[in-house]
């Protein structure tokens, strides 16, 4: 089954107002000459402070979708420093990244909390990008597949098959995030194939064939073509290489 690839840029805690404008302007210019029918789905995830500016710059550019880097599942209330889905909807956000290893490790987010977020995102009509991944120690112990199965099973608990089909999973080996190390494309493909088998076991092969699963972890223009040649990999969740327009455009081209 043909699945449209996604190239998503996660800016993390980078780019002030001027830098955000320069980056978005560069991306808009860079994709202007690309054939929309051949392009992957392009997604950018700015910081909260740059969401309005990014929205304003791409509101007339259908080739780019907007994502948030996180969300609180509660509709409103006394949650100092948090952002709700209604607030994100003001900026026509279409995707929300949840379960990133940095949120899990630095801020103590649990699988159960990530599941709450996924349900709230889907109920709002948005698409969760659900991250999963193993540490170097877990990989060396040979528990990568069972660890990922546990993460995915808990993240999707109580979510309907039709909502899972619309969702996106991002496999990000923690040992490859921001380290310059990239998981071998063949092994990344095998691991993502295992994640797809988990979805098939939980739901059906049809659902597993429809859900898009991305690879993330030091993805670069020099690695994207080999990664996209793998049958299970449906695109990339990009960190550092998404912070420069030229490299992000090269990643988009590499997925075409």
In percent, how much of the chain has pLDDT > 70?
98
Q: What does the pLDDT read at residue 1?
A: 58
DSSP 8-class letter at 113 = H
| Paired strand residues for 132 | 171
Q: What domains lie within the chain, and their CATH numbers? A: 6-254 (3.20.20.70)
- Which of 173, 101, 168 shows the shortest CA–CA distance to 129? 168
Q: Is the pLDDT of residue 192 over 80?
A: yes
Q: What does the pLDDT read at residue 183?
A: 83
Q: Is the pLDDT of residue 181 over 80?
A: no
Q: What does the pLDDT read at residue 48?
A: 96
DSSP 8-class letter at 41 = E
Average pLDDT over all residues of the chain = 95
Catalytic sites, residue numbers? 100, 172
SS3 category, 35: coil
Q: What does the pLDDT read at residue 9?
A: 98
List, for residues 29-85, the tens digit of each pLDDT value: 999 999 999 999 999 999 999 999 999 999 999 999 999 999 999 999 999 999 999
- Which of 243, 252, 247, 232 shows the shortest CA–CA distance to 187? 232
Q: Where are the alpha helices (DSSP H) in the chain?
A: 17-31, 51-58, 85-89, 101-107, 111-123, 136-140, 144-155, 161-166, 185-202, 205-210, 221-228, 245-254
Can you tell me the mean pLDDT for 194-209? 98
Residue the block writes with tokens 């029918």: 37
């Amino acid at each position: 089954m043909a699945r449209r690839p996604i190239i998503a840029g996660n800016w993390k805690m980078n780019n002030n107002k001027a830098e955000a404008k320069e980056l978005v302007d560069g991306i808009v210019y860079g994709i202007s000459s690309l054939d929309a029918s051949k392009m992957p789905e392009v997604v950018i995830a700015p910081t909260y402070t740059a969401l309005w500016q990014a929205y304003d710059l791409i509101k007339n550019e259908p080739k780019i979708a907007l994502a948030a880097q996180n969300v609180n599942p509660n509709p409103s209330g006394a949650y100092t420093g948090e952002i709700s889905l209604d607030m994100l909807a003001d900026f026509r956000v279409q995707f929300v990244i949840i379960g990133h290893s940095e949120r899990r490790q630095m801020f103590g987010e649990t699988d159960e909390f990530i599941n709450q977020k996924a349900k709230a995102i889907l109920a709002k009509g948005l698409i969760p990008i659900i991250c999963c991944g193993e540490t170097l120690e877990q990989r060396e112990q040979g528990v990568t597949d069972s660890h990922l199965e546990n993460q995915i099973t808990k993240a999707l608990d109580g979510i309907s098959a039709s909502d899972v089909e619309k969702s996106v999973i991002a496999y990000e080996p923690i040992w490859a995030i921001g380290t310059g190390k990239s998981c071998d494309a063949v092994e990344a493909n095998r691991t993502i194939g295992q994640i797809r088998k988990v979805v098939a076991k939980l739901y059906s092969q049809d659902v597993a064939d429809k859900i898009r699963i991305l690879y993330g972890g030091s993805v670069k223009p020099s690695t994207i073509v080999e990664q996209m040649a793998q049958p299970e990999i449906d695109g990339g969740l990009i960190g550092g290489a998404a912070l420069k327009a030229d490299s992000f455009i090269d990643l988009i081209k590499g997925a075409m």
